[in-house]
Amino acid sequence: MGNTNQQPKLVVGLVIDQMRWDYLYRFNSLYGNDGFKRLLRGGFSFENTMIPYTPTYTAPGHSCIYTGSVPALNGIIGNFWYDKRTGKSVYCVDDSTALPVGSNSNAGKMSPGNLWTTTITDELRLSNNFRSRVFGISLKDRGAILPAGHSANAAYWFDASVGKWISSTHYMKALPGYVDGFNDKDLAGDYMKGEWNTLLPIENYEQSTADDKPYENPIPGLHTVTFPHKLSLITSDKYEAFKYTPFASTYTFDFAKTVLENEQLGNKAVTDFLAISISSTDYAGHHFGPNSVEIEDIYLRLDKDIAGFLQYLDDKLGKGNYLLFLSADHAVAHIPGFLQEHEIPSAVFSNIEIKNELNKMVEKKYGIPRVIPSVQNYQVYVDKNALRLNGKNEEAVLTDIIQLLAGKEFITDVVETSKINAASISQPQRERMINGYNAQRSGDIQFTVKAGYFDGANKGTTHGSWNPYDAHIPLLFYGWNIKPGKTNREVYMTDIAPTIAAMLQIQMPSGCVGKVLDEVSGK
């Protein structure tokens, strides 16, 4: 779909949280013609797009897409990490200096301050003396803030304690009137007065397992995992429960349209940027898993939402006048209980149990309690100051920790993070570990586990590993100057930002390590 305009009126980044690449095709027979199929038919699909670092979580994923960088360089190594200087856990977008705008809760004390590099959205603003307008929208604060970058006009996220879109003083002093007006409608509350039933007759969901499975988790506030999910029965924390429904995706798109309309995005001489992240797919995905009726239904409904949004962009900006890319921040593993039903190896382990076992071992052998303050992101943090103050041999303690971990049946490799490059591990794992290792923020020891294993409980699923089920994501470009096609050559999440930079003829982000995708760049 080519266009003679030198620049698109608007770039839309559409990130579907937890979308596996295979969802493009797995549910294709039930998709309509104007959503995912339209993007595949009229756009260019990079069928083999991989995440080039570990761990594969939401904050690193959004950061990587928009910075073209990896955690080693942009600083966002996880959703959370342990701060070795303060001895406290850090949330990726926490900012004690930022105040909430739109509510009085701590949900507004957020900013991109922990992100060390610029984003493609920052670079767009820098390219024309900040005339381009940039907005980030997501139910999740990290899904709005990290894509919008440091210099955005606004990032908006959903405060489930009040059921409203909010922001922080990093961006503004007060919400615009149109945001207050949207919040006053309480559309989320209206959705929660009804129920979530399947879009189609449930017998049509042939890609899913039976609806009632003991390894699924219910929507918070409900006690069953089967359709219909009677949302009206939820009497407390209803806005938290709302995030697990497909209606939260519709709600996000409706708010995106409201922002686009009121900010007049795409109506000026320069390119604007709207970064949208759909979060309900992740919330529901964690609880119900990839083989559930819920996930099949949520993607059929998302397909309709995308179709409606594309039509809206056609009407407002004209076909071919906007550039849209669709990708994901990570994918997801199958629920172990489901895999076990089919004799596929899978199980869960507990980071807390590992931490307790390591602390018990170190205290018994070296006489120092609580030397392991945290096990997270497949990494073990060691209080080396405590070892030095007690005159203990650091390398001896690390060796003992490594030996204990290596003895676990489900752990395949254990390395000191500062020595990853010399470790005898497979090259793909080594590269991903190095790209994910940040000397200031990462732990001291990293381990990998067998495929199908993860830290979790007996119900639900998660993501975070280097394995393809977590790291293989969709990537489609559609619209302005994009010619239809697809390729199976391996490309990476880091390639998205430099490709957009090349298309817009602007500088790539300050920590960018990706390569321009020539198939769509027009170069």
312-361 per-position pLDDT tens digit: 999 999 999 999 999 999 999 999 999 999 999 999 999 999 999 999 99
Token digits for 505? 């003829």
Residue 4 pLDDT more than 80?
Answer: no
3-state secondary structure of 60: helix
* Mean pLDDT along residues 397-402: 97
Q: Which CATH code is given to the segment(s) 10-51+86-339+466-521?
A: 3.40.720.10
In sequence order, the 6+-apart residues with CB closer than 8 A to the CB of 242 are: 160, 163, 188, 191, 192, 231, 248, 251
3-state secondary structure of 204: helix
> What pLDDT is attached to residue 522?
76
Residue 12 pLDDT more than 50?
Answer: yes
Report the chain's mean pLDDT, rounded to a whole number: 97
CA distance 260 to 262: 6
- Say whether 209 is catalytic: no
* Mean pLDDT along residues 62-68: 98
Residue 298 pLDDT more than 90?
Answer: yes
140-179 per-position pLDDT tens digit: 999 999 999 999 999 999 999 999 999 999 999 999 999 9
226-267 per-position pLDDT tens digit: 999 999 999 999 999 999 999 999 999 999 999 999 999 999
Q: What is the largest CA-CA distance in the chain?
A: 72
| pLDDT band with cut points at 50, 70 and 90 for residue 6 | confident
Token digits for 330? 């990570």
CB atoms within 10 A of CB 29: 9
| pLDDT band with cut points at 50, 70 and 90 for residue 3 | very low
* Mean pLDDT along residues 276-289: 98
> What pLDDT is attached to residue 481?
96
Q: By C-alpha distance, which of 513, 189, 472, 210 is closest to 327?
A: 472
CA distance 250 to 473: 22
Residue tagged 């620049």 (tokens): 7
* Mean pLDDT along residues 281-299: 98
3-state secondary structure of 12: strand
CA distance 376 to 490: 29
Residue type, 378: Y
44-64 per-position pLDDT tens digit: 999 999 999 999 999 999 999
| pLDDT band with cut points at 50, 70 and 90 for residue 523 | low
Domain regions of the chain by residue span: 10-51+86-339+466-521, 347-451
Residue 1 pLDDT more than 50?
Answer: no
Token digits for 495? 């390639």
| pLDDT band with cut points at 50, 70 and 90 for residue 25 | very high
What architecture (CATH level 2) is domain 347-451? 2-Layer Sandwich (3.30)
Annotated active-site residue in 49, 58, 448, 499: 58
In sequence order, the 6+-apart residues with CB closer than 8 A to the CB of 18 are: 281, 282, 285, 286, 328, 329, 330, 331, 332, 463
* Mean pLDDT along residues 459-484: 98
| pLDDT band with cut points at 50, 70 and 90 for residue 71 | very high
CA distance 60 to 433: 13
Residue 505 pLDDT more than 70?
Answer: yes
> What pLDDT is attached to residue 5?
61
Its pTM surpasses 0.85: yes
Burial class (CB in 10 A: 0-12, 13-18, 19+), 306: buried
| pLDDT band with cut points at 50, 70 and 90 for residue 304 | very high
* Mean pLDDT along residues 372-387: 96
> What pLDDT is attached to residue 2?
43
186-208 per-position pLDDT tens digit: 999 999 999 999 999 999 999 99
